[in-house]
Amino acid sequence: MTNPANNQVLPALIRVHPRLLFIFALLAFFSAASFAKEAVPIAADEKVEQRLISISEELRCLVCQNESLAGSHAELAQDLRHEIREQIKQGKSNEDIMTFMVSRYGDFVRYRPPLKATTLLLWFGPGLALVVGIAVLLTYLRRRNTRLTDVALTPEEQRKVDALLQADGSKNKAQS
């Protein structure tokens, strides 16, 4: 059996100790700061960082796939940005860095892969899939329409339908 006095402990505590409740709320709010991570330092040379951003915006994150390397927060994206930064510091050109990334990860890593035999599917695959999907849909709809034909009822079936409709009509009149 429960004691009604036990159910009133929390409201009584709130009324008696509002300062204690306020302190608990502050502790809960500020404890979230303990889970924060330290900000990643930006490169000491701002020109290096600008080149890094311009190059990484042209590259696709291999984890996210629909996000640029510059905007991705995946660990692999961070590693690749670090690799690009190191190559910039070594004095490599943007083209050298792009060539390195493509040789390592393939043309898919580029947001705008070059048009060549190995990338035709990347360029025309989505349009081809759309055309094939529309063709399949139209074929299905045409076949469905030819299969649907009006079938005449036999006189006996027509009498059954009429009887059912009259019975249903009399029920509706009786209910209203």
Q: Residue 57 is part of a domain; what is its CATH number?
A: 1.10.8.640
40 assigned to some structural domain:
no
Query: 70 and 110: one domain?
Result: yes
Q: Is residue 137 pLDDT above 90, yes or no?
A: yes
CA distance 142 to 134: 12
- CA dist 32 and 46 (Å) reads 32
Report whether pLDDT(115) > 80: yes
| Residue after which a domain boundary falls, among 114, 144, 164 | 114
Residue-wise pLDDT for 69-113, tens only, equals 888 888 998 999 999 999 999 999 999 999 999 999 888 888 888
Question: Does one domain contain both 126 and 155?
Answer: yes
**Whether 81 and 130 share a structural domain:** no
Domain count, the chain: 3
Would the pLDDT of 135 be above 70? yes
Domain hosting residue 12, numbered range: 6-35
State whether 110 and 124 are in the same domain.
Answer: no
pTM over 0.75: no
Specify if 160 maps to a domain: yes
